[in-house]
Structures are given as structure tokens and as C-alpha cells.
Amino acid sequence: MPRLDRLGVLIAGLVGVALLALPFAVFRANRIVAGEGVSLADALALPAFLAAGTVLCAAALIGLLRTPAVPRLLAALAALLAIALSIGMVPDHLVAPGNAYARVSPSSGFWLLLFAFGLMATDALTRLRPPPVARIAILAAAIGCLALILWSGRWDGLSLMREYDSRADSFWRELGRHLVLALGSLAASVVIGVPLGIACHRVARLRTPILSSLNIVQTIPSIALFGLLIAPLGWLAANVPLAAALGIRGIGVAPAFVALFLYSLLPVVANTVVGLASIPPEADDAARGVGMTDRQRLLSVELPLAFPVILTGIRIVLVQNIGLATIAALIGGGGLGVFVFQGIGQTAMDLVLLGALPTVILAFSAAVILDAAVEASSHRTTGERA
């Protein structure tokens, strides 16, 4: 009797619930009215439903049984592609030609299928343990497939893409602001945080007060910190002409940037301290033995050996900032949060997704890329130590 995979049982159960009990898509007569859930069988023409259903059930069966990692990965990817193509065909089946008001959106069944087979693909990749370069290549291929689907127009009938079409210019502008906030605050935290971490490592009496202060900043809720910065930055803009000339104001990008910078400091400083403290004493003794100065030891021995741990802190900061930058829209800082809060105000969930989905993709991509970089640098550092 074939043996069952424990995770595969969960995945097959989720697929069964998604196909039999949950709507795959939501059809609405216009943008704001309540929608009607439609199952996968009713959302697609019969040939398309049979093809998609066969792929999904076959992939779920492969996941249910204890199969090698490669077939599991290929089956999960085939299922994810079938889901992506199926949701794009729903408007063609449900919406009458020439109807510019009707909207079609993914529903709970779509998201549950996406989660189930995404979990299956992740499990297969974990078993395969691909090297860092291969993981980045897989990520690039996945983003390329998504871009190809968007470019082909397969999703043009979905409400999400209609929201994008009416806001294309502002979408790219706000995406740029989002990246500036996330990456700019990260760069500032590295420039300030790494030297601060070095100082905390070398001067023990600085460590506790600095790390305790940064811990206090981390306990302040993000919205509260954004609000607390409005008054001092507003005063600075009103009383210091140079600050006003640089664009510093009580609301807008400045308080959002400063808040993200403050949130970023603790992971960078703490990981710098931990990384430097984890260096074997033998490495420092060897550097002293060949006559290296303090500066030479720091730049040529200590920081390279501590780099994987420091890079782990940078990864934490970047993923955190990509998410927190969404809240900057509440104080006029721009970013993808503009669409999230506009959608909430208009009860337009597809507009919320227009801001939320790119944020999730950016955070996930940053995590994968930096995880691969951390692993690669760890292997290199281990080799150098050996």
C-alpha cells in the first residue's frame, strides 16, 4: 500500500476544501456592490475546467503520496500555473462582451489553492536544498512567469488589473517612493548602525544603554512613532530654513523615513555586536601575530568574519521596512500603502490588493535573495576560517 506524506495529507485536504466547498472567484455587477461566489466548475468553460481540475487533482495526489522531491516540485509548479491561467479565463466565461462595469476577483478558493500548492513547492525545495544561486534563479523564473502572464494580457479582465489600468502612472510613482523609503532607511541604518555596533563591541559600557534605548524604540507602535515625529519635524521645518529647503516637514516622507530608520537601527547594531563577538579568538591572535594594526584587523579580519551575521540583520531590516513603509501613506509619505488605504476607504478590495500584493512580492523576494546571500557568505567565511 502506498505510504502517505503527512504534509501531503494537509495539502490534499486544503485542495479538497478549495475545490468542493469554497468559491474560486467572485462576480460583481459593478465595482462596489456585494459579489456572488462562483465555484471553479461554474467559473470556467467545461474544457478549461476539466483541464484545470485534472492538473490540480493529479498534483494533490502526488503531494499526498511519499514521492521524490523533484516530482513534487514539478507537480506543485504545474498546479500553480494552472491556477494562474484559470483565474485569467474566468472573466471571459462570466462577463458578457462589452460589459465594462462587471468585475471578477479571486475568492477564497483561489487563495487557498495558491497557499496549498505554494506550501507543497516550498516543502519540495526544502527537501532538495538547492544552493543559493539556484534559489535566486528559481525566484527569477517565478517572477518572469508572472511578468509573462501580465504582459500576455491573460489577467486583463480581472478587477485588479482594471484598478491598475486606471492608476498606472501613480502606481509606478508610489512603488518608487516605497522603494526609496525602504532602501534609503536601510542604507542610513547601515551607515550609522555598523559603526555604532563596533563601538558597542569595543566599549562595553556603551552596549547596555545603546541597545536598551534601541529596544525601547522597537516597542513603540509604528503608527504612534510616525505621529510622534510630526511635531518635532514640523518645528524643525518652521525654524530651520535649511531643513525646509531639504524637504523636511511634519508630514510626508521625512517622518516616515526617520521612523523607518529608527526601527532599523536595533537589528543592525545588535547583529554587528553579535557578529564581532562570535569571531574566534584564534583569528584575532593570528592577525596580531602578523603585525596588523587595530584598523587592519577590523577591516581585514573582524568585519569579513562577522559579515554573515551583520547581513542577517540587514535582511531583517529590509523585509521589515518593506512592510512598514506601507503605513507611511497615513502621514502623506506615499508608497504602496496609498492604494491599501484608498481601497479600505472605498471598500474596494481589489484596490487594497493593488498595494498589498506588490508589497508581499517585494518582501518575499528580498528575503529569498538575502537568505541566499547570507548562506553564500557563511560558506565563504567558514572556508576562510578553515
Give the DSSP per-residue string, 154-221: TTTTSHHHHHHHTTHHHHHHHHHHHHHHHHHHHHHHHHHHHHHHHHHHH-HHHHHHHHHHHHHHHHS-
pLDDT digits (tens, 9 = 90+) for 354-378: 999 999 999 999 999 999 999 888 7
In a domain, 256, yes or no: yes
Q: Residue 310's pLDDT is what?
A: 92
Say if residues 222 and 201 touch (Cβ distance below 8 Å). Answer: no
In a domain, 235, yes or no: yes
Contact residues for 354 (Cβ-Cβ < 8 A; gap 6+): 160, 163, 164, 167, 171, 339, 343
Contact 90, 44 (CB under 8 A): yes
Instruction: Give residues with Cβ within 8 angstroms of 159, minimum separation 6.
Output: 28, 31, 103, 104, 105, 350
* Residue that terminates a domain, selected from 101, 122, 153: 153
- Regarding whether 245 and 138 lie in a shared domain, the answer is no
Q: What's the confidence (pLDDT) of residue 118? A: 94
User: Phi and psi at residue 38, in whole multiples of 5°?
Assistant: -130, 130
Q: Assess whether pLDDT exceeds 90 at residue 384.
A: no
Q: Indicate whether 51 and 190 sit together in one domain.
A: no
- Give CA separation, 322 vs 57, 74, 179, 180, 227, in Å: 36, 30, 8, 10, 19
* Distance between CA atoms of residues 108 and 381, nearest Å: 45
**How confident is the model over 311-330, as a mean pLDDT?**
91
pLDDT band at 291 (very low <50, low <70, confident <90, very high): confident
Q: At 137, list the grid cell.
A: 534563479
Q: Are residues 149 and 178 both part of a single domain?
A: no
Within a domain: 162:
no
Instruction: Give the pLDDT of residue 1.
Output: 57
Rg (CA), the chain: 25
pLDDT of residue 328: 85
Q: What is the pLDDT of residue 231?
A: 74
Confirm whether 366 is domain-assigned. yes
Whether the CB-CB separation of 259 and 267 falls below 8 Å is answered with no
Looking up residue 96, the CATH number of its domain turns out to be 1.20.140
Among 25-39, 83-97, 301-315, the range scoring the smallest mean pLDDT is: 25-39
Residue pLDDT, tens place only, 24-78: 999 988 777 778 899 999 999 999 999 999 999 999 999 999 899 999 999 999 9
Provide the CATH number for the domain around residue 337.
Answer: 1.10.3720.10
Q: How far apart are CA 222 and CA 168, in angstroms?
A: 29
pLDDT at 251 (0 to 100) = 72
Give the residue-averaged pLDDT of 196-212: 89
Cβ contacts of residue 372 below 8 Å, gap of 6+? 132, 133, 135, 136
- 3-class SS at 87? helix
Q: Is the distance from CB of 268 to CB of 260 less than 8 angstroms?
A: no
In the predicted structure, residue 158 carries a pLDDT above the cut 60: yes
- Please name the residue that has the C-alpha cell 518652521: 238
Q: Is 96 exposed, middle or buried (0-12, 13-18, 19+ CB in 10 A)?
A: exposed
pLDDT tens per residue across span 237-246:
677 776 666 6
Pairwise CA distance, residues 303 & 289, whole Å:
18
How much is the pLDDT for 284?
73
Asked if residue 250 has pLDDT above 70, the reply is no
Q: Are residues 146 and 174 in the same domain?
A: no
Same domain, 87 and 221: no
Q: What is the pTM of this model?
A: 0.88
Q: Within this chain, do residues 211 and 324 fall inside the same structural domain, yes or no?
A: yes
Q: Give the model's confidence band at 292: pLDDT under 50 very low, under 70 low, under 90 confident, else very high.
A: confident
Position 9 scores a pLDDT of: 93
Residue 256 reports pLDDT greater than 90: no
Residue 104's DSSP bridge partners are 27
User: How far is the C-alpha of 351 from the C-alpha of 360, rounded, in Å?
Assistant: 15
Residues 279 and 352 in one domain: yes
Domain count, the chain: 2
pLDDT (average), residues 211-230: 82
Examine the fold and report which residue of 153, 185, 216 is the final residue of a domain before the chain moves on: 153
pLDDT at 53: 94
Residue 142: phi and psi, rounded to 5, are -65, -45
Q: Which helix (H) or strand (E) holds 105?
A: strand 103-106
Give me 160's grid cell.
485588479
Q: Is residue 161 part of a domain?
A: no
Residue 245, domain extent: 168-385
Integer Cα distance of 146 and 81 in angstroms: 9
pLDDT bin (cut points 50, 70, 90) of residue 348 is: confident
Q: Reply yes or no on whether the pLDDT at 119 is more than 80.
A: yes
Are both 149 and 173 inside the same structural domain?
Answer: no
Query: Of 153, 180, 204, which residue constitutes the final position of a domain?
Result: 153
Assess whether 257 and 374 both reside in one domain. yes
Looking at the fold, whether 177 and 311 belong to one and the same domain comes out as yes
Domain presence at residue 1: no
pLDDT at 333: 81
Q: Which alpha helices (H) appear in the chain, and where do they start and end?
A: 6-20, 40-43, 46-64, 69-94, 108-128, 132-152, 159-165, 168-202, 204-219, 222-239, 241-245, 253-277, 281-289, 294-297, 303-324, 337-345, 349-385
Residues 148, 187, single domain; the answer is no
Look at residue 158 and tell me if it is in a domain: no
Q: Which residues pair with 103 in a beta bridge?
A: 28
Q: Are 266 and 364 found together in one domain? A: yes
Q: What's the average model confidence in pLDDT over 102-124?
A: 93
Residue 159 lies in a domain: no
pLDDT at residue 243 in the model:
64
User: pLDDT higher for 247 or 216?
Assistant: 216
- Percentage of the chain surpassing pLDDT 90? 53
Of 112, 44, 50, nearest to 80 by C-alpha is 112
